[in-house]
Amino acid sequence: MFEKPVDKTRRETMLEFLKTHYRYGRFSLFRDTMTYANSLNFYHSAEENAKIIAFRAAECPAYDAEVANIIAEFEKDTDYAIEIVGDAKDQLVLCAFGYSKAGLRITEMYGFDSPTSIENDSDDELRDKCDLVCAFDRACDKIAGTLIWYALNSEIVEEVEVIKKIHKIAKVKK
């Protein structure tokens, strides 16, 4: 679905792949960033799309656990992260990550400010970036396949959750 073969022996092919790969942008007052991304908006039949949309709005711990495992495996293999972002949680984005002095995980979108910023990279640097983005695409294929399987093989049901809350109130004495 997302992974495409790239001829890593030809500079032009690697540049074309990196420059034309789908990107997701985050725009802020401080910095506009574009990162490599893949969209979970699929083009299936209307019925399948409706099931996928409904599934994404529901909670499914088994799906969440499978996706977390796919992302953890990607992180272990590449030292990069995948985050799921967007209003509909429909964008998979490639991120660099590290840890603060307090031990908190920090992620930052991985990419470049403009497609021309990679033209001065060496062939080895381009090959490394292509390898990373191809690994990202493979992991996204696994996530997308997992999403489609769960969406088409799950039934969305409504459950009532009752939350008992104890609170103290002051009553005026008579």
In tens, the pLDDT along 60-80 reads 999 999 999 999 999 999 999
Residue 168 has what DSSP assignment?
-
| Residue 146: domain span | 11-152
Residue among 113, 130, 109, 140 at smallest CA distance from 38: 140
Give the C-alpha separation, 123 to 9, whole Å. 9
* Count of the separate structural domains present in the chain: 1
Look up residue 85 and give its amino acid. Answer: V
Q: Is residue 169 part of a domain?
A: no
Contact between residue 109 and residue 93 where contact means Cβ atoms under 8 Å apart: yes
Structure confidence by residue, pLDDT tens digits, 35-62: 889 998 876 788 888 888 888 888 899 9
Asked, for residue 117, whether it belongs to a domain, the answer is yes
Cα separation, 95 vs 137, in Å, equals 13
- Identify whether 91 is part of a domain: yes
Residue 113 counted as domain residue: yes
DSSP 38: E
In a domain, 163, yes or no: no
- Best CA proximity match to 21, nearest among 169, 129, 142, 173: 129
pTM of the full predicted structure?
Answer: 0.83
Confirm if 48 and 149 have CB atoms less than 8 A apart. no
Assigned domain for 121 exists: yes
- Assigned domain for 49 exists: yes
Residue 166 in domain:
no
